[in-house]
Structure 1
Amino acid sequence: MKLFLHQDRALNETYDQNRVAYYLDMGLGKTFVGSEKMWELNTPYNLVICQKSKIGDWKEHFETHYPEYHVIIFDKQSLDKIPKDSVLIINYDKVWRRPELEKLNHFTLMLDESSMIKNEKSNRSKFILSLAADNVILLSGTPTGGKYEELWSQLHLLGWNISKKLFMKQFVVYEWDELNQKNKIVGYKNVDRLKRKLRKHGAVFMKTDEVFDLPKVNDQIVKIPGTKEYMQFAKDHIIELDDELLVGDTSTTKKLYLRQLAGVYNQNKLQYVKDLIDSTNDRIIIFYNFKKEYAALVEMIDRPIATINGDLKDLNAYDEHENSVTLIQYQAGAMGLNLQKANKIVYFSLTDKSELFEQSKKRIHRIGQERPCFYYYLLTAGSIEWRMKEVLEQRKDYSDELFEEEEM
C-alpha cells in the first residue's frame, strides 16, 4: 500500500513504540496510518473500536487492503472460535457489554476517534481501560476538543501512569466560581511540557496546513430574521404552536426550545435554505440536530436526498447525483465521512458540542478537495445561536451552565 510522505513520517517517528497516538488532522488519512501500524505490530489478534457509523468503512478497508486478515464484526461470537490473524470490529456502545473481550490476550487495541473515552468514569472508558492489550493505537483529529483535562484516559492507555489528580494540578488552571460555589477550569499551563510528554509516549500531532495546501475556506454568516414566537418564549418560557405546547420549565428544556424556535419553527430559515438550494446545482451538505428539522427539510427539498442519522445511512444520492442534498445529523455523521465531492456546507442549526462542530467542517475540506469551500452559518437574529457560535469558535461546548449564566 502506497502511503503519503506525511503518513510514512508518522510511522517512522513511532517505529520503536508499541503504544502510539496518531493525532492527525481530519483528512490526513489516520485510517491508513493506524492500520499500517497494526500490521507492523503483527499480533495474533486485533481489536478495533469505532463509532457505529464507521464499522462498515473499517470492514471494507481491511478487506480491501489487508486480505490476509480475517475481518469480523464482533457481536456474540465465542472467542474460542476466532482464528488467528483476525481483526475484530465493534462499536463503542457495544464493547463494554461484551465482557468476554476481557479474556482476549496477545492483541493490538485500536481506538478510532479516541476522544470517545474522554470521560474516564463512563462504562465504555472503564471497560476499555481494563483490557489487557499488548499494543495500543489511538486515532483522532480532535483528541481533546480543546480541553486538555479530557486527555487523561488516552494518556493512561499510552502508558503515562500519572494520576488524574496530579495531571490536573500540573496542567489545568482553576478559578473560583462564586455563582456556583465551586472551582471552574479557566485555562491551562505547562502546555509545552505536556506536548513533550505526549510525544515521548508515542503521540504524533499533524495539521493539514503543515502537509497540504488545501483550497480557501469561506465563512458566510447569514442573519435570518427572527420571529415573534421566539421573543415571546424567551420572555414567558411557554408558548403554544398549532397543537403543540412548549414549556421551558428547566434550563435544559428552555435552551432546547429556544434552539428549535430559532431553527425548525422559524419559517424564514426554512425559506432561506430552499432559496439557497434553488440557487445552485452543486452538491450541498446540511448539518442539523433534531428529528423535526430533518422532517421539515425532507418535506421542503425537491432533489435527490442522502441521509446520515441514527436511523439511516444512505449516501447513494450523494454519490450518484451532482445536485444532491445530504442531510447529516451531527452525532451520526460529523466524524469520519469523506464528502469532498461537495464544497458547500449549510449549518441549519448548530451543535452545542465543540468537537462535533470542528469535525463537521472537515467533511469537505480534506485531501482531494480542489475547490474553495463555503460554510453557511444560518443564525436567527436576536437568538441563542449567536452566543453558541461564539462559544464554539472558542473550542468550548455550549453547556447548560453557560446558558444559565447568560440568562442571569
Structure 2
Amino acid sequence: MARGGQRQAGATRTAPRARRRQRELDNEGLIPVLARAVREVETGVQRKAVRPSTRTKFQVVALLVREERTRVKNDADLSEGRRAEELKRLDGIGTILAKTAARDPSLLALLAEDAKVTEEARELRREMVLAAGLEPVVEEEPEPEAVVSPFAHPERQVVPQSVIARKLANPFLAPDFSFAARNGHPRRLAGWELLGPLFRSFEQAGASACMPLPEESAVRAPQGLELMPHQARVVAAAAAGHRSFLLADEPGLGKTAQALMAAHAADAYPLLVVVPNVVKTNWAREAHLWTPGRTVTVIHGDGHDVDGFADIMVINYEILERHVGWLSDFGFRGMVVDEAHFIKNKSSQRSQHVLHIADQMRERIAAPLMMALTGTPLINDIEDFRAIWQFLGWIDDVKPLGALMEALEDTGLTPADPAFYPAARGCVVNMGIVRRRKIDVAKDIPARRVADLPVELDDEAGRSIRASERELARRLVERYLSALEVRGQSYDGIDEELVRRVATWEREDTASTKDGENVFSMMRRIGQAKAGLAADYAAQLARSVGKVVFFAKHVDVMDAAEETFARRGLKYSSIRGDQTPRARQKAIDAFVEDPEVAIVVCSLSAAGVGLNLQVASNLVLAELSWTDAEQTQAIDRIHRIGQEEPVTAWRIIAAQTIDTRIAELIDSKAGLAARALDGSDEEIGGSADVQLEALVSLLTDALRERFGR
C-alpha cells in the first residue's frame, strides 16, 4: 500500500510541473506575439479606428502567420501532437484576421501576393520577431519590378532627317510650366492602399460616368462643318483649361473631331496622335477637315517622308517602337491615344512606349493635353483602367497623383468608410471621364448616317492592287492615244467625248471577257485586302456597343471575316445565298435572340432585303456596292420601325485606290439628300453608270499626270 501510495503521490506531484511547462511553451515563441497583435488589430477595426499603423500591423501578422505555418509543418523536431497544437493556434489567428478583414474589406488588398511591403512593415516585422526571442532574418533588398524598357531594341530606333532639321532650327525648347500642378501629397490617407479601392469603386453601380461639362460655347468649326452640341461641350471644357480626358463615347459620336478641336482650343501643338493602323489614314483626313490651318504628317515605316515641322503627327502602335526615342523629347504639348484599350496590358511594349512618351511630356510641360479615346474602356476587368489612368497622369504604379489625391483627401473619408467608394468614383470621373451613349444624345445626331473609314493597304496585297490600277490606267491611255492616231490627231488637251468612248469600250470589253486586270477584278481584290481590317473594326465595335451587322459582297471576304471573329473569341452567325430557308432563319434567330452572338455576317445580295436586324444599331460595309440603292437596302435591315437608337453604317474605304473613286461616284449619283440618309431611296443612274464614270475618272487623271494638263 505504501509503495502504491507513494506512486500515487508522485504522480500527483509531477502533473502540475507538466502543466506549467506546457503553459511556458505556449507563452514562448512567435505565436503569443502574433496573438496579441491580431487582437489589437481586431479592436481597432471594431472601434472604426483603423490607422495606417493598424493596417501595417494587420499585414505583418498575416505575413508572419503564413511563414510560421510553413515552418511548423516542416519542423522535424516537433512531435505530431505539438505540431497539431501550434497549427490549431495559428488557425485561430487566421480566423481573427479573416473576420477583421470582413469588417473592413480594404484590408484584403494587403493579403494579395503582390501587395507592397513598406519600410514601416519591414521594421515592425523585425520588432515582432525580436519580441518572440528569435533572431530576425536579414532580408535582401527587394528586386525592382521587371519593367520592359521602351528601348529594349535600341538598334531599331530611327530619327527621321526632317526631325533632326526641326531640332536644329529650334535647339532651345524651353519648358512650359504655366499650368502649375498641385503636389497632391497624402495627409490623412498616408499609408492607405488606394488604387485597389479606386478600381473597386467602379464595380459598384453609380451615376453616369461623365464629368460635369460646361454648356456649349460658341466654338467655331471650319467652314462647312458643325460640331454637334455634345461635341462642343468637350471642346468648351478644353478651352476652359481642362487638360485630361478619358473620352469613352460610343462609336459614332465623333470622338476624333472632339479630340482635334479640343487640341485646337487648348493650342496643344505640336500634337502626337497614336492610333491603330486601321484608322491612321482616317485620322489624317479628319485632321485636314477639322483643323485646316494645321499641317498634318503621317509616320510610316522608318519615317523617311515624315514632315518634322508638322503641327500634328499621326503614328500607329505597330511602329511606335522605332520612333519612341525622338518622340519622347520632341516637345509635344498634347497627345491623343485612340482606341486606348490597346494599352491595357502594362507589360506590353506598346503600353510601355505610350507611358514613357507621356511621362517625358509631363517632365517638360506641367499640364499637356492628354486624351485617351475608346468606346471600350473595359475589356476583361476593372483594372484595365490602370494603364489609361496612368497615361492621363491621374495615378502612378502605386498611388493617385496630384489633383486626384487632393480630391480624395477633400472627401474626408478613408477606404474603411462605405461612403468612400461612391465618393472616390466621383473624384475619378471628375478628373475627365466623358461617356455618352448614342441614345443619350440622339437629338444631336442624324437618325441614320454613313461614316466613311479610310484604311491604308500597306502590305503586299495593297502594293499589288496599286500596281494593277496603274497598269489599267496605262492601258486606257494607250487606247486613247491609239484612237487619236486613227483619227490622224495628236494629243492637244483632253477630249472629254473621246475619254468617255474609250471608257465605254473598256467596260464593254470587260463585260465580254474575263482576261486581264479590270475594274471588277480590282474591286474584288480590294475587298479581299480590306477583309481583315474591316473585321477588326467590326470586332472593336461589337466589344464596345454590342451587336453589329457585317455586310460583304463576296464569299471569300465573308470567310476571312468569320476567321477573324473566331480568333477573337466572338460568336457570330452567317447569312448566305446558299442556305436553306430553315438554316437562314436559324442564323437570324441566333443573332436576334442570343446575347452571346455579337455579329452577323451577311451577303449583300442574300441579306440586303427582307430581313429585320434592328437589334443592332451599327453596321459595317466591308465592300462597296455599285449602287447606292444596294447600300441603302443593307442599312435598312437595322434602320426600321421600332429602332430606338440612331443608326451608323461604317463604310470601309481603301485609301489611294479606285475604291475611293467608286465611293465618291456612288455618293454623287445618289445626290446629297440621299447621301445624308434622310430616308430617300431614290437612285440616280445604275451600276453601269458608276463603272463607266470610274473608268472616265481614272483615264482623265492618268492623262493629266502624263501630259501635265
Are 1:59 and 2:302 matched, yes or no? no
1:370-385 correspondence runs (5 A): none
**Counterpart selection for 1:198 from 412, 428, 436:** 428
Among candidates 249, 264, 278, match of residue 24 of structure 1: 249
Report the counterpart of residue 349 of structure 2 in structure 1: 123
The whole-number CA distance in structure 2 between the counterparts of 1:199 and 1:158 is: 13
Q: Mind listing any 5+ residue stretches in structure 1 that lack a counterpart?
A: 168-188, 221-255, 280-287, 305-312, 326-338, 346-360, 372-408
Does 2:624 correspond to 1:322?
no
What secondary structure sits across from 1:126 in the alignment?
helix
Aligned equivalents of 2:430, 2:572: Cα separation in 1:
47
Q: Deviations over 1:227-247 (max 9, x none)?
A: xxxxxxxxxxxxxxxxxxxxx
Aligned to 1:163: 397
Aligned to 1:33: 258
Which of 319, 324, 330 pairs up with 1:104? Answer: 330
Q: Offset of 1:93 from its aligned partner?
A: 1.7
Q: Judge conservation of contact 1:113–1:138 (CA < 8 Å) in 2.
A: yes
**Could you tell me which residue of structure 2 aligns to residue 152 of structure 1?**
386
Structure 2: runs of 5 or more not aligned = 1-220, 362-367, 402-418, 449-544, 549-565, 589-596, 609-619, 640-645, 651-675, 680-709
Letter in structure 2 aligned against 1:323: E
Which secondary structure state, in structure 1, belongs to the residue aligned with residue 389 of structure 2? Answer: helix
Structure 2 CA distance for aligned equivalents of residues 136 and 47 of structure 1: 10
The one of 314, 320, 323 aligned to 1:89: 314
Match of 2:340 among 106, 114, 119: 114
Match of 1:47 in 2: 272
The verdict on how the C-alpha distance between 1:324 and 1:190 changes in structure 2, with shifts beyond 3 A counting, is: farther
Deviation at 1:208, TM superposition (A): 2.2
Distance 2:341 2:235 in 1: 21
Letter in 2 for 1:135: L
Matched, 1:138 2:372: yes
- Give 1 or 2: higher helix fraction: 2
Matched residue, 1:4: 228
Identity of aligned residues (%): 16
**Secondary structure of 2:439's partner?**
helix
**Offset of 1:61 from its aligned partner?**
0.8
Counterpart in 1 of 2:439? 209
Instruction: Classify 1:72/1:143 alpha carbon distance in 2 versus 1 (closer, same or farther; 3 Å).
Output: same
Query: What amino acid sits opposite 2:356 in the alignment?
Result: S
For residue 146 of structure 1, report the CA deviation from its aligned partner.
6.8
- Partner in structure 2 of residue 349 of structure 1: none
CA contact (8 A) 1:159 1:201 kept: no
CA contact (8 A) 1:303 1:323 kept: no
User: How far apart are residue 369 of structure 1 and its match?
Assistant: 7.5
Asked if the contact 1:55/1:89 (under 8 Å) is kept, the reply is yes
Task: Identify if the C-alpha distance between structure 1 residues 324 and 211 changes in structure 2 by more than 3 Å, giving closer, same or farther.
Answer: closer
Looking at both structures, which has the greater relative contact order when contacts are Cα pairs under 8 Å and sequence separation is at least 6?
1
Equivalent position SS for 1:98? helix
Deviation at 1:316, TM superposition (A): 5.8
TM-fit CA distance, 1:341: 4.5
Alpha-carbon shift at residue 89 of structure 1 (Å): 0.9
Give distance in 1, aligned partners of 2:447 and 2:356.
43
One-letter code aligned to 2:231:
Q
Root-mean-square deviation (CA), in Å?
4.9
CA separation in 2, counterparts of 1:268 and 1:315?
A: 17
Cα distance, 1:267–1:363 mapped onto 2, change above 3 Å: closer
Greater Cα radius of gyration, structure 1 or 2: 2
Measure, in 1, the Cα distance between the counterparts of 2:388 and 2:605. 42
After superposition, the Cα gap between the structure-2 partners of 1:78 and 1:362, relative to the gap in structure 1 and judged at 3 Å, is same
**Is 1:49–1:90's contact at 8 Å kept on the other side of the alignment?**
yes
> Normalized against structure 2, the TM-score is what?
0.31
1: CA distance between counterparts of 2:622 and 2:573?
24
Aligned letter for 2:428?
L
| 3-state SS of 1:116 partner | helix
1:236-255 residue pairs with structure 2 within 5 A?
none
Q: 1:60 to 1:196 in 2, by over 3 A?
A: same
Q: Which residue of 2 aligns with 1:236?
A: none
Residue deviations 1:289-310 (CA, integer Å, cap 9, x gap) = 99xx99xx88x96799xxxxxx
Greater fraction strand: 1
How far apart are residue 218 of structure 1 and its match? 12
Residue 73, structure 1, aligned to residue 298, structure 2? yes
Distance 1:118-1:260 versus aligned 2 partners, 3 A rule: closer
Q: Which residue of 2 aligns with 1:252?
A: none
- Alpha-carbon offset, residue 73 of structure 1: 0.9
Residues 301 and 369 of structure 1: is their aligned pair in 2 closer, same or farther, counting only changes over 3 Å? Answer: closer
Contact 1:158–1:201 (CA under 8 A) maintained in structure 2: no
